[in-house]
């Protein structure tokens, strides 16, 4: 009989755990695989039934995503000069010609500006507020903290109409600034509460040591507290970015042109020249990338951040 330990998992339970994790991973990743593969299918393949798992990869979806195209008569089609580029060729194969670039690039850029802008602002304001709440005697501190938390107690969309009217009269509708402010307002309570927790965990002695070593309060904050809070700041930033990046309802309501983000834009692709699923999938794939890269870059911090407090002490 082999030695039995209460704390050490047995071989069988390890296998079961591995199996469950694998199963869960497959279930969660399947839609992602579906989207990414659909982006590389031709229009035909994307709607074939049963779905094709093995297919001839095509960049049709990506080309369609970034271009607008027009159908020309067969006479004109024959008179056209040979396609100048590889993407011209892909469009010609569908019996169309490129009319110009699509708006996806701009919309994507809007998402980047608004998403990262509001994340940055939430983190800056959130860190300062969290530090103040953590370290200073703020009058009515608990009430203020509760008030900040209470802004998250209803779904933000419940105030969509007042915000719509407010933004219209303030001239903030369909502006980058307006969207950045809105997402910051939604994220700030999460940022303050999360960051306060992280800053509370940093012993005050570090700053006190810095104060005695001749630094001002702000220098101590910047050079001693901030590096210590990096983990918390990184994980808070990820949460803020994911919200701002994926937000759909306010974006539909408040943006239509200059400041429209990618989420409300992607579905509009469907309407152009039939249901172009590869283009939609290509848009979704590209849309996934920034958050994915951001999260991978901060992954180490995120892991420590989520388990913070649970493991230490």
Partner 1 sequence: MAEIVIRDLRKEFGSFTAVKGSSFTIRDGEFFMLLGPSGCGKTTTLRMIAGLELPTSGQILIDGEDVSQRPASQRDIAMVFQMFALYPHMNVRKNISYPLVSQGVPRAQVQAKVAEVARILGIESILDKPVGGLSGGDRQRVALGRAIVRNPKAFMMDEPLGALDAEFREHMAEELRALHDRMKATTVYVTHDQLEAMQMGDKIVVMNHGVVEQFGTPQDIYDHPATMFVADFIGSPAMNFLRFEGKVIPGDQSVALGDTPVALPEVQESAFGPLVLGVRPEHVSLTDGGAYRGGIIAAEYLGTTQIVTLATPHGTIKARVPSGQVARVGEQLGLSFRAGSLSLFDAASGRALRTAANAGVHHG
Classified as helix, coil or strand, 168 is helix
Told to check if 191 binds partner 1 by CB under 8 A, we report no
> What is the bridge-based pairing of β-strands 67-71 and 96-101?
antiparallel
In the complex with partner 1, the residue whose CB is nearer, 75 or 205, is 205
Is the distance from CB of 123 to CB of 233 less than 8 angstroms? yes
> Is residue 237 classed exposed, middle or buried when 0-12, 13-18 and 19+ CB atoms within 10 A define those classes?
buried
Q: Compute the C-alpha angle 186/235/29, nearest 5°.
A: 95
Classified as helix, coil or strand, 101 is strand
Between the CA of residue 291 and those of 118, 175, 260, what are the distances in Å?
14, 22, 18
Told to check if 309 binds partner 1 by CB under 8 A, we report no
Q: Which stretch binds partner 1 (CB under 8 A): 6-14, 85-93, 216-224, 267-275?
A: 216-224
By residue count, the chain amounts to 313
State which of residues 87, 206, 239, 248 lies at the interface with partner 1 (CB under 8 A).
206
In the complex with partner 1, the residue whose CB is nearer, 219 or 295, is 219
Pairwise CA distance, residues 86 & 146, whole Å: 58
State which of residues 215, 239, 248, 308 lies at the interface with partner 1 (CB under 8 A).
215
Is the distance from CB of 252 to CB of 174 less than 8 angstroms? no
In the complex with partner 1, the residue whose CB is nearer, 132 or 252, is 132
> Is residue 98 classed exposed, middle or buried when 0-12, 13-18 and 19+ CB atoms within 10 A define those classes?
buried
Least spacing, CB of residue 210 vs partner 1, in Å: 8
In the complex with partner 1, the residue whose CB is nearer, 97 or 226, is 226
In sign, the C-alpha dihedral spanning 89, 91, 97, 98 is: negative
Least spacing, CB of residue 132 vs partner 1, in Å: 17
Pairwise CA distance, residues 130 & 127, whole Å: 5
Q: Which stretch binds partner 1 (CB under 8 A): 79-87, 170-178, 224-232, 280-288?
A: 224-232
Told to check if 142 binds partner 1 by CB under 8 A, we report no
Contact code string over 68-97 relative to partner 1, x by CB under 8 A: ------------------------------
State which of residues 209, 296, 297, 306 lies at the interface with partner 1 (CB under 8 A).
209
CA 3 to the chain's CA centroid: 48
Peptide bond into 50 cis (omega under 30): yes
In the complex with partner 1, the residue whose CB is nearer, 31 or 203, is 203
State which of residues 216, 256, 275, 307 lies at the interface with partner 1 (CB under 8 A).
216
Least spacing, CB of residue 140 vs partner 1, in Å: 15
Told to check if 213 binds partner 1 by CB under 8 A, we report yes
Residues 228-287 that bind partner 1 (CB under 8 A): 228
In the complex with partner 1, the residue whose CB is nearer, 211 or 253, is 211
Between the CA of residue 53 and those of 22, 50, 62, what are the distances in Å?
20, 9, 19
Told to check if 214 binds partner 1 by CB under 8 A, we report yes
Give contact residues for partner 1 (rule: CB under 8 A): 203, 205-206, 208-217, 219, 224, 227-228
């Amino acid at each position: 009989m082999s030695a039995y330990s209460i704390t050490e998992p047995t071989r069988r339970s390890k296998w079961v755990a591995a199996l469950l994790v694998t199963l869960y991973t497959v279930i969660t990743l399947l839609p992602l695989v579906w989207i990414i593969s659909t982006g590389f299918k031709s229009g035909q393949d994307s709607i074939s039934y049963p779905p094709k798992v093995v297919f001839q990869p095509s960049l049709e979806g990506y080309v369609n995503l970034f271009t607008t195209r027009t159908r020309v008569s067969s006479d004109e089609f024959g008179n056209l000069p040979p396609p100048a580029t590889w993407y011209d060729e892909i469009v010609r194969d569908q019996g169309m010609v490129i009319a110009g670039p699509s708006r996806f690039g701009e919309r994507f850029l809007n998402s980047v500006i608004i998403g990262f802008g509001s994340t940055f602002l939430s983190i800056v304001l959130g860190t300062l507020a969290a530090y103040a709440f953590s370290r200073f005697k703020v009058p009515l501190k608990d009430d203020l903290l509760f008030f900040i938390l209470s802004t998250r107690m209803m779904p933000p969309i419940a105030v969509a109409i007042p915000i719509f009217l407010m933004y219209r009269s303030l001239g903030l509708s369909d502006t980058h600034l307006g969207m950045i402010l809105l997402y910051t307002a939604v994220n700030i309570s999460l940022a303050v509460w999360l960051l306060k927790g992280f800053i509370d965990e940093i012993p005050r002695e570090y700053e006190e040591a810095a104060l005695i070593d001749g630094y001002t309060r702000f220098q101590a904050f910047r050079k001693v507290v901030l590096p210590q809070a990096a983990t918390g700041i990184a994980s808070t930033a990820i949460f803020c970015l994911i919200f701002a990046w994926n937000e759909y309802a306010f974006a539909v309501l408040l943006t239509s042109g200059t400041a429209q983000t990618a989420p409300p834009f992607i579905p509009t692709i469907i309407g152009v020249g039939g249901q172009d699923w590869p283009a939609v999938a290509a848009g979704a794939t590209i849309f996934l990338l920034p958050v994915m890269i951001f999260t991978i870059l901060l992954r180490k911090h995120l892991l420590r951040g989520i388990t913070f407090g649970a493991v230490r002490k």
